[in-house]
Structure 1
């Protein structure tokens, strides 16, 4: 593409209807040819920002099963389409090549770490939760009262969880019989 002095923004501004240079006169051909990533997305998925307890809604734009953009959801009464700097950087949290894809695990008494895939690590956690619950289950306490609980499992939530996540965690741990359920915000 050959560029001439007539393409200069100041000349376009003086020759055309955009004398203040706030519209088409200020835009280059390259800018006009750009297509937003959100326009070419296959689908949009609703999500919640993972960083703090505010729970800002996000729209996740997906193309070819890959995240191409994350923006604030303008329909949300919480953030009305706006995100803080950390929330705006959510895309990098999911798509960064530096993101860990495996779990580092050191077996008891081992001196070396080993890499595990996420599925294997989740199975190990689930097996240990079930075992701890079964090993420490109490139907009746020392005063012969029916308690149906376990003291072998506890939960300590963090301030990065929103109300919905805390609600689901509370329901999960209560259903498992745990009674020691706390949140860092109360400590």
Structure 2
């Protein structure tokens, strides 16, 4: 490569010689970048979604190929985020495809040091038994002569990854069980 070709290959030189001083056009593209294809080119479909991390509700475009999520990007049509995602939202592909995602129930017994795998039905029965027992032992009909009909035996702390409808149903469930300590992290 001659000196002239070498200088012509510099993006900054091309910006000013091609009349593109802001570097937004072809002058900043390299030969390597011109050969690249977007990761989303092979997607069969794009599904509109909402980021599950916080209560902001940034829009996401979820790219799907062969029934599997291949990429998640900000939705430029979203009036909330206008195509932008925070670092957590940008990494939300790991929620679906990450190697650290668990697809089984793990349980560590009280005072135990090891995790053991449980069947989902067994784990759900354990949770139900503990809720019933905590409700039975912590139930209060009255306090200071006032009828309260509540339990302080358990509480609910919801997460911002749930949408309004899910949070509404959880609130109804815990209220029906007599819990009064119900909060959501999205409000904090």
TM category (shorter chain) comes to 0.5 to 0.7
CA root-mean-square deviation: 4.1
The whole-number CA distance in structure 2 between the counterparts of 1:8 and 1:168 is 65
Give the C-alpha shift of residue 35 in structure 1: 1.9
Q: Structure 2 matches for 1:20-169, cutoff 5 A?
A: 20=19, 22=23, 23-108=25-110, 111-116=112-117, 120=119, 122-132=120-130, 134-135=132-133, 136=135, 141=141, 152-158=153-159, 160-161=160-161, 164=164, 165-169=166-170
1:93-127 deviation per Cα after TM superposition (whole angstroms, max 9, x unaligned): 44333444444422346x4423426xx2x434421
Report how many aligned residue pairs link the two structures. 175
Q: Which residue of 2 aligns with 1:19?
A: 18
Q: TM-score, normalised by structure 2?
A: 0.65
Provide the secondary structure at the position in 1 that maps to 2:41: coil
Would the aligned equivalents of 2:55 and 2:186 in 1 still touch at CA under 8 Å?
no
**Would the alpha carbon gap of residues 57 and 26 (structure 1) be closer, same or farther in structure 2, given more than 3 Å must change?**
closer
Provide the secondary structure at the position in 1 that maps to 2:77: coil
The whole-number CA distance in structure 2 between the counterparts of 1:98 and 1:186 is 28
Q: Gaps (5+ residues) in structure 1?
A: none
Q: TM-score, normalised by structure 1?
A: 0.65
The whole-number CA distance in structure 2 between the counterparts of 1:183 and 1:35 is 42
Would the aligned equivalents of 1:132 and 1:153 in 2 still touch at CA under 8 Å?
no
Would the aligned equivalents of 1:10 and 1:25 in 2 still touch at CA under 8 Å?
no
Would the aligned equivalents of 2:156 and 2:181 in 1 still touch at CA under 8 Å?
yes
The whole-number CA distance in structure 2 between the counterparts of 1:25 and 1:57 is 32
**Would the alpha carbon gap of residues 153 and 70 (structure 1) be closer, same or farther in structure 2, given more than 3 Å must change?**
same
Q: Gaps (5+ residues) in structure 2?
A: none
Give the C-alpha shift of residue 132 in structure 1: 4.2
Give the C-alpha shift of residue 41 in structure 1: 0.8
